């Protein structure tokens, strides 16, 4: 039995396509309604949670495997796992974005940057040798400059539609993001063969 924690939302939706292509049974997942835990015919047990919680479940040994975005991994302190595959889904990038005036503006005080990803933001501005104030938001981060809470944002960008719809543009691309398959180190010791078989099948169809 492999226990898997899956990030709800986009990653779950795109992972279902990948698992199905790899020949895995996803029917119980499609018909699970509001349940959050389900077993499938492949001797997998899935749980579905928020991105950071997927890492927490894996850290505490509740699951063997996690499907989670690189964005979440980069902003999380827990690093003691194996990253065994880039699943090439959930593709987007981290970017610094702001209203067009940001480029020309002379800042008298520290810039204020809103983000759901404070660690990624801190690291980026450290590489730029800039001291900024980071304001944590939980979502709809584009609101930061729109309502005057921040001068700019660090957030995920895929199509750029959300930026455009809120009068923002990319100032700098920071790094690429996609969904990763991560494994608990002790699980890997005991279930190496089963886990590698799963990784191989997913890599074959991605
Ligand atoms: N626009 C996007 N394009 C591609 N992948 C994305 C995009 N936004 C988020 N992701 C990926 O999907 C993961 C989950 O994001 P999703 O938007 O589904 O949920 P969330 O924003 O964390 O939470 P919620 O939507 O419940 O507030 C992110 O951690 C990231 O890896
Ligand atoms: O470039 P785009 O294709 O427009 O995608 C980018 C948007 O997608 C994500 O938001 P999400 O939809 O998850 O909502 P959230 O802001 O509540 O996290 C991300 O935080 C951006 O806002």
Q: Are 98 and 171 in contact (CB under 8 A)?
A: yes
Average pLDDT over residues 60-83: 98
Q: Are 169 and 97 in contact (CB under 8 A)?
A: yes
Report the first-to-last Cα separation within the chain, whole angstroms.
23
* pLDDT computed for residue 143 by the predictor: 98
Q: pLDDT tens digit string along 101-137?
A: 999 999 999 999 999 999 999 999 999 999 999 999 9
Task: Confirm or reject: Cβ of 139 under 6 Å from ligand 1.
Answer: yes
Q: What pTM did the predictor assign? A: 0.97
Mean pLDDT for all residues in the chain: 98
Ligand nearest to the CA of 163: 2
Q: Are 154 and 94 in contact (CB under 8 A)?
A: yes
Q: pLDDT tens digit string along 24-69?
A: 999 999 999 999 999 999 999 999 999 999 999 999 999 999 999 9
For the CA of 165, the nearest atom of ligand 2: 4
Ligand 1 center to 9 CA (angstroms): 7
* pLDDT computed for residue 25 by the predictor: 98
Cα 96 to chain centroid distance, Å, stands at 17
Q: Whose CA is nearest to atom 21 of ligand 2?
A: 156
Given CATH 3.40.50.620, say whether it is the number of domain 2-90+178-205. no
Structure confidence at residue 163 as a pLDDT band (50, 70, 90): very high
Q: Which CATH superfamily is domain 92-176 in?
A: Periplasmic binding protein-like II (3.40.190.10)
Tell me where in the chain the CATH 3.40.190.10 domain(s) lie: 2-90+178-205, 92-176
Task: Confirm or reject: Cβ of 204 under 6 Å from ligand 1.
Answer: no
Q: Whose CA is nearest to atom 6 of ligand 2?
A: 157
Task: Confirm or reject: Cβ of 50 under 6 Å from ligand 2.
Answer: no
For the CA of 138, the nearest atom of ligand 1: 27
């Amino acid at each position: 039995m492999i226990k898997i924690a899956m990030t709800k939302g986009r990653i779950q939706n795109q992972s279902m396509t990948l698992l199905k292509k790899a020949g895995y049974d996803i029917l119980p997942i499609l018909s699970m309604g509001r349940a959050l835990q389900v077993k499938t015919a492949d001797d997998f047990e899935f749980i579905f949670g928020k991105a950071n919680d997927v890492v927490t479940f894996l850290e505490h040994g509740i699951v063997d495997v996690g499907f989670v975005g690189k964005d979440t991994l980069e902003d999380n302190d827990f690093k003691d796992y194996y990253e065994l595959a880039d699943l090439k889904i959930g593709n987007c990038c981290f970017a610094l974005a702001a209203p067009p005036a940001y480029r020309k503006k002379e800042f008298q005080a520290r810039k204020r940057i809103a983000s759901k990803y404070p660690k990624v933001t801190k690291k980026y501005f450290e590489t730029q040798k800039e001291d900024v104030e980071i304001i944590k938001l939980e979502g709809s981060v584009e609101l930061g400059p729109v309502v005057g809470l921040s001068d700019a944002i660090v957030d995920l960008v895929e199509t750029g539609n959300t930026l455009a719809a809120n009068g923002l543009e990319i100032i700098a691309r920071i790094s690429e993001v996609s969904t990763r398959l991560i494994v608990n180190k002790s699980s890997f010791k005991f279930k190496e063969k089963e886990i590698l078989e799963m990784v191989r099948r997913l890599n074959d169809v991605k």
